[in-house]
Amino acid sequence: MLPGDEKVVERCLQGDDAAWETVVSQYAKRIYNLSYRYTSRRDEAEDLTQEIFIRVYQNLKSFRSESGSFQNWIMRVGRNLIIDHYRRTRRFQQAAGTEEMENMNLKDEKVASPQRIAEQSEAARFLGDGLQALSPELKEAIILRDLEGMPYLEIAELLGIPEGTVKSRINRARLELAKLLTKRRAQAGVQI
């Protein structure tokens, strides 16, 4: 739990609006990005972010600091809502959105050449297509670990499974994706 999170939650429960604003400002980016990774649509991600925070606000009383960090609790609420959303809509779009892939730049290159940007966009599109072919469980593993950069332990807490299972699931997801991409690349005859 981040320092002061527990106190902030207590203040929220006492009706302190400023404390609630702190919580929203602190976690909005993370929740929004998580929603966007799953839905690949900005409008859907915004709607989901709103729903998640409403759910968090309504269920603040049920948070127990003994059972995990507040951050993980929020992420769990968010993930559950996202899964519900998926079940309702029955479609899981590619984990990385089209807009995102088109606008993607290398983080380690301050000024990327147009050719490099084009190559990266193509690689991202290729990866997004591959992710779409994975099962929701494996796709989720890639999203949480490789796109969101969450530690194994947090993923284990979030999903409610042992850390070893998380590791093996992530490895399986990466392997499947790698095999799939290798196969597709061989079929397409492209070098990315």
* Contact set with other proteins (CB under 8 A): 17-18, 20-21, 24-25, 28-29, 31-33, 36, 46, 49-50, 53-54, 57, 96, 100, 103-107, 120, 123-124, 127, 142, 146-147, 149, 167-168, 170-171, 174-175, 177-179, 181-182
Q: Give the shortest CB-109-to-other proteins separation in angstroms.
A: 9
Closest among 191, 160, 163, 192 to 72, alpha carbons compared: 160
CA distance 182 to 185: 5
Q: How many residues does the chain have?
A: 192
CA distance 170 to 11: 38
Place of tokens 């799939």: 180
Q: Give the shortest CB-65-to-other proteins separation in angstroms.
A: 21
Q: Quick one: how far is CA 159 from the chain centroid?
A: 13
Q: Give the shortest CB-31-to-other proteins separation in angstroms.
A: 8
Q: Give the shortest CB-137-to-other proteins separation in angstroms.
A: 16
CA distance 37 to 45: 8
* Complex with other proteins: residue 124 or 158, whichever CB lies closer: 124
* Complex with other proteins: residue 87 or 174, whichever CB lies closer: 174
Closest among 78, 76, 35 to 54, alpha carbons compared: 78
* Complex with other proteins: residue 80 or 171, whichever CB lies closer: 171
